[in-house]
Each structure stands twice: as structure tokens, then as C-alpha cells.
Chain A
Amino acid sequence: KAGVTQTPRYLIKTRGQQVTLSCSPISGHRSVSWYQQTPGQGLQFLFEYFSETQRNKGNFPGRFSGRQFSNSRSEMNVSTLELGDSALYLCASSQSDRAKAFFGQGTRLTVV
């Protein structure tokens, strides 16, 4: 069974640009969560989607948004990039609310 796939693995963007990151969950998993990881703040929850509906959102500005498609694949978008958005963005999928989550390898975003 293929794991959680995140694309791209690495990305360099300029301040002010926008970026879209993609996550393909494990087949059959309907829940997808996104996290931001930085050295200073650690792992922080961004949002979670289940059956195309956002069910929870972390404490991030509106520049961070996401969506989930009918095949459970998910994207997150960050607009008007700031230097502080440089981070490892992780996606996790799970089968049900309380199931163990499987993480992808992440997308490392660098904003210059």
C-alpha cells in the first residue's frame, strides 16, 4: 500500500508569491490534516479535512487555506508569502477520527 505522498518535496518561492502544496493520502483514508513545522515553533496544526469538509483549523492567518477533493487528495495554499512561512509542511492521513495518522515526508518551503 502506498504511503502518503506530498509534492513537491522542495520549493523555493519569493516573498509575495503564492504557493500550492499537494497531498495524496493513503488509499481509503478520508481524513487529511496539515501541519507546519519550524525550528522555533515545532509542529503546529494547520487544518483538517474529512470528506471534503474542513473540520478544524489551527491558529493561522487567512493566507493559509486548503481544500480536499472527492478522491480525498488535498491541497493547501499560502498566499502573499512571508519569510516566516519558510517551514516543513507535513500532511497526515487517517481512516477515521481516532485512527492512527500516517505522515508524508513533507514539503520543505523556503521563502526568499
Chain B
Amino acid sequence: DAKTTQPTSMDCAEGRAANLPCNHSTISGNEYVYWYRQIHSQGPQYIIHGLKNNETNEMASLIITEDRKSSTLILPHATLRDTAVYYCIVRAPNSGGYQKVTFGTGTKLQVIP
């Protein structure tokens, strides 16, 4: 499985954009990048995913570099409720019906008032 590397922690001022980077240099051509977040003591929450193109939804934007070796999750206007651990995940290829998800240590985002 492709591994991901994320900064351990980041701070962001409330109302500003939060840019969370993720390196996945060993990603293979058919692997997707997924982002989840986990607010304290709750189950992880899906945010967004993408393969090659940039993606945007009501929660965030995902920017994937052209070589696909890194990506950035953007929360356009961070609020205190966005304080959470953010996980960048690369899904293994669906070979023979098998799927495995590896969570890294994630980035703890602290939104500061």
C-alpha cells in the first residue's frame, strides 16, 4: 500500500483558509486519495476524495499535484468546529475484490479564535 506523510500538527486562525498537505510519493496510477477527519472521541468523517483532478464539495477542496505525489486539503474558511485530526489516505488497488485502508497518524488541526 502507498504510504502517506502528513505534518503532526498545524494551527489556523478562525476564518482563514486551512491548507493541509499530504505526501504520497509512492502512489500508483489507479489509487485514489481520500481525506477524513476525526473530531475528538467521534468516528472519522469522510471529507473528499480524488484521483487526478482537483475536487471541491461543500466541505473542502482537494488539490492534487500533476505527478500525484502530493495533495493539499483546503478548508476555505476554518471555524472552531473544524478542530480535528485530519487523515490523508491512499486506497490500495481493488485487486481480486480486496481492499485495504491504511490510516497514518494524521494532522491535528487547531483552529484558533
| CB-nearest residue of chain A to B43 | A103
A4 and B45 CA atoms in complex are apart in Å by 12
| CB-nearest residue of chain B to A101 | B46
Most chain B C-beta atoms within 10 Å of own C-beta, residue among A55, A58, A92, A101: A101
Count of A-B residue pairs with CB < 8 Å = 57
Q: CB distance A42 to B97 under 8 Å?
A: no
Query: Which residues on A sit within 8 Å (CB–CB) of B10?
Result: none
Q: CB distance B46 to A105 under 8 Å?
A: no
State which of B65-73, B74-82, B98-106 sits at the interface with chain A.
B98-106
Query: Which residues on A sit within 8 Å (CB–CB) of B87?
Result: 43
Secondary structure of the A contact surface, majority rule: strand
Secondary structure of the B contact surface, majority rule: loop
Q: CB distance A101 to B103 under 8 Å?
A: no
Query: Which residues on B sit within 8 Å (CB–CB) of A92?
Result: 43-44
The A81-112 residues at the B interface (CB cut-off 8 A) are 88, 90, 92, 97-98, 100-106
Q: CB distance A50 to B97 under 8 Å?
A: yes
Given known pairs A42-B106, A43-B87, A98-B32, the reply for A56 and B43 (CB within 8 Å) is no
Given known pairs A42-B103, A42-B106, A100-B34, the reply for A106 and B98 (CB within 8 Å) is no
| Per-position 1/0 for A1-32, Cβ under 8 A of B | 00010000000000000000000000000010
B contacts, CB < 8 Å to A: 32, 34, 36, 38, 41-46, 49, 87, 91, 94, 97-106
Provide a sorted-by-A list of 23 A–B residue pairs whose CB atoms are within 8 angstroms.
Answer: A42-B103, A42-B105, A43-B103, A44-B103, A45-B101, A45-B102, A48-B100, A50-B97, A55-B97, A55-B98, A56-B99, A90-B44, A92-B44, A97-B99, A98-B99, A100-B34, A100-B46, A100-B49, A101-B36, A103-B36, A103-B43, A103-B44, A103-B45
User: Which 9 residue pairs are nearest across A and B when measured between Cβ atoms?
Assistant: A103-B43, A43-B103, A100-B46, A97-B94, A56-B100, A103-B44, A55-B98, A97-B99, A56-B98
